[in-house]
Amino acid sequence: MTIHREGRTLLFILLIVLFGLNWAVSYFFPSQLVVHNILIGVSIVFYLIILQFFRIPIFQIKKNENQVLAPADGKVVVIEETDEPEYLKSRRKQVSIFMSPINVHINRMPVSGTISYAKYHPGKYLVAWHPKSSTENERTTLVAKMNSGTEILFRQIAGALARRIKWYVKEGQPLQQGDEFGFIKFGSRVDIFLPLSAKVSVKIGDITKGGKTVIAEF
């Protein structure tokens, strides 16, 4: 496991702040051992929660052109047929994954392909599971065109806490299944739009692992 570059500065600053806070309490209130011990425990737990949020699990991606991998760790909250009006402009199967603050927040390519569309949209910060979050929240829309010609659209959506979406790809860039394409901080959602012919392999409430869980097959 390694630490994502998006979290290194924050984690360093947080370590200094927590160390300074604990030192100040022990220095100015030396007799309050119980309070100091509680503060130390809370500080350690809090730091570990933030640390695990920015972790990068190391594992081997099992690529398969007939499968769609989960783009993120989280929980499946939406599976439905819907219209995708921004780029595909057609009826699609939508699978949405909610990423809580304790999930790994790396976003991975669900399929191998070339980025045929990439656009950032400023917007609101509704809670990520809100039905309107996919059209009204801050978000990015990315589309990968597979070797077969099939296009898969996936969308990073900011939540009430996630106010920084990062994406590392541009139109025309080829990427492999499981490659990192972005990162969202502190709670968010990823929508993926599949052809109607795709067979969805997950159900509402399932827990996904980005780059591991098969969410659909062709």
pLDDT in tens, 133-147: 566 678 899 999 999
Q: Indicate the domain borders of the chain.
A: 2-56, 67-217
Q: Active site residue: 96, 133, 134, 188, which one?
A: 188
Q: Report the alpha-carbon distance of residue 160 to residue 39 in Å, rounded.
A: 28
Query: Phi and psi dihedrals of 101, rounded to 5?
Result: -60, -20
Q: Report the alpha-carbon distance of residue 17 to residue 2 in Å, rounded.
A: 22
Look up residue 174 and give its two tokens: 């080829």
- Catalytic residue at 112? no
Mean pLDDT confidence for 177-184: 91
Say if domain 67-217 classifies as CATH 3.40.50: no
79 vs 36, residue with greater confidence: 79
148 vs 51, residue with greater confidence: 148
Query: Phi and psi dihedrals of 81, rounded to 5?
Result: -90, 135
Q: What is the pLDDT of residue 75?
A: 94
Q: Is the pTM of this model over 0.75?
A: yes
Say which residue the tokens 């370590």 belong to: 15
Q: Up-side HSE of residue 40: CA atoms within 13 Å toward CB?
A: 9
